[in-house]
Every structure is written in C-alpha cells, then in structure tokens.
Amino acid sequence: MRIDGGCHCGAITYEAEVDPEKTSICHCTDCQQITGTAFRVTVFAPESDYRITAGTPKEYIKIAESGARRAQGFCADCGSQLYSTSVGDGPKVYGIRVGTARQRQDLIPRRQIWHRSALHWLPEFDGLGTVEKQS
C-alpha cells in the first residue's frame, strides 16, 4: 500500500510503501512518555520503501530496554513524531507513526506489543494479537 504524509506544520513530508497488515499498537512506557499519551500506532517500511520528500527530520537517540539504540525522527519546528529506526550500519526498517499518514484511516492495527505495559484503564482492543514484551 502506498502512503504519504508529513508533520503537522508541513515542513517535512514523506512517502512509503507499507504492508497495512504490519500496523501495530505499542504500549511500552517509552512510547507512552514520548507521545504524551497511552500508546503509539506504527506501520513498518524497509529503508528502500521509505523516502523523505521535503525537509529534514531531527533525530533523538533513545536506548531501548534491550540496550538497542533507536533514532526517533521528528520535526524540529512543530514536534510531530515521524518515525523510529535503528542506528548504525545495516539495513533499516522505519516505524512510521500512523497519525502522520494521510491514509491513517486504512492502517488498522493488527497486534499490540509491550502489552504488559498497557494502562489498566484502556479498553481491550478485541481481535488483536498481543505480545507482552518485545523479544
């Protein structure tokens, strides 16, 4: 599926080819804190299928529970979070933030990860597979 989108202020835009079946909800505490809300919805694209078409995202490097370094791409002007990806050499996969895609209504989550960190007051998302933590 071809998607396109960008940050809230329009300074950064992108396009990507994604598999909508790979859309997921992440409940990890990092996603909760970085987004300022209860979870984050992401769809994945290999580096070869993700392209920034305007602007230059700023990146913040966070350290995951596993010790892996993850680049968090965002707009330095409006703060919109655009993606996360690995740091360093090797093939990259971009975790595109679904809320930034114009086609977000078609990117329906299929699973939940880091479910062990889900906030207790959230309703259950029926029919979604769950993974308690990322392996």
Q: Which domains does the chain have, with CATH numbers?
A: 2-130 (2.170.150.70)
The pTM of the full predicted model, rounded to 2 decimals, is: 0.91
Q: What is the pLDDT, as a whole number, of residue 131?
A: 80
Residues with Cβ < 8 Å from 36, sequence gap 6 or more? none
Q: What is the pLDDT, as a whole number, of residue 135?
A: 55
Categorize the per-residue pLDDT at 64 as very low, low, confident or very high, splitting at 50, 70 and 90.
confident
C-alpha distances in angstroms, 99 versus 8, 65, 70? 10, 25, 20
Categorize the per-residue pLDDT at 50 as very low, low, confident or very high, splitting at 50, 70 and 90.
very high
**Is residue 25 within 8 Å of 2, Cβ to Cβ?**
no
pLDDT over threshold 70, residue 134: no
C-alpha distances in angstroms, 10 versus 39, 56, 76, 97, 100? 24, 11, 12, 15, 10
**Is residue 11 within 8 Å of 77, Cβ to Cβ?**
yes
Q: Percent of the chain beyond pLDDT 70?
A: 99
Average pLDDT, the chain: 93
